[in-house]
Structure 1
Amino acid sequence: MGLKERLQEDLKAAMRAGDEPRKTAIRMALLAIRMAEVEAARPLSEDEILRVLQNEVKRRRETLEELERANRPDRLMAERAELEALLAYLPQPLTREEIEAMAREVIAEIGATSPAQLGEVMKRLMPRVRGRADGREVQEIVRRLLTEAAS
């Protein structure tokens, strides 16, 4: 069963269970997937659906930050519950140690020795971690490793 089908089945289950935050989160995710399919004028691949879900999770996290800054505890709980519902569909994120190990591997593969080669390392590393690590965190780790290698 694909990710989209799983979302559709889980939406039915959430509706039967009366789980409002989960139902809302899944509905919004399915809507985002449909909009992306209309824009692409074709059904999305599993990787593309995963990217749409990651964008939805990112949007929820940004909304949580804004709600915390605006001191809106009434909306915070619902938004957190929706975020948790969506996180269940994403692959297990990599730990910093796993990212660092993969980065060291790529750096060794291409023989990178200075921060000037950051782009080259990122180009090779990102396809390996896509969907399981934040690009900013990966870049920070790679930059640190390359700076250490240069000194």
Structure 2
Amino acid sequence: MTLDDLLAPDSVIPDLRASGKAALLDDLARRAARALDLDAGEILAALVRREGLGSTGIGAGVALPHARLDAVRRPYGLLARLREPLDFEAVDERPVDLVFLLLLPTESGGEPLNALARVARQLRDPENAAALRAARNAAGLSALVSGRSLGTG
């Protein structure tokens, strides 16, 4: 499974503005809810519960907020590059500017964990992260995550 398998073309946001972590999670939950025809409050609550276990800011300016939901049938991703980095309580205490929201089915064995590990590996790779940060627009970001342009990290 590649990043491209998790992202629809309209699930890449090149210039997202957020005033803080809570506002960012709310915005991402609303976008995912529209795309999946689910309740945004349910998605947000699941994301907040997961963040309560420990920040999903995985370091190097990358956050991977994720949650398992009964209503999700297959892994769904949304990639956002933030206009301004923000504090995400990341493990390395650095602000975050690349965020990959991942919603996973509750019941599906090891595939969701593999998806989560693959996304983390690809986004933490310094060359991949630099390319994502340098992309000019949504089309550029989409091309990078197509599986043809990003390395496997």
TM-score, length basis structure 1: 0.24
Name the larger-Rg structure. 1
Higher relative contact order (CA 8 A, sep 6+): 2
Compare the two structures and name the one with the higher helix fraction: 1
TM-score, length basis structure 2: 0.23
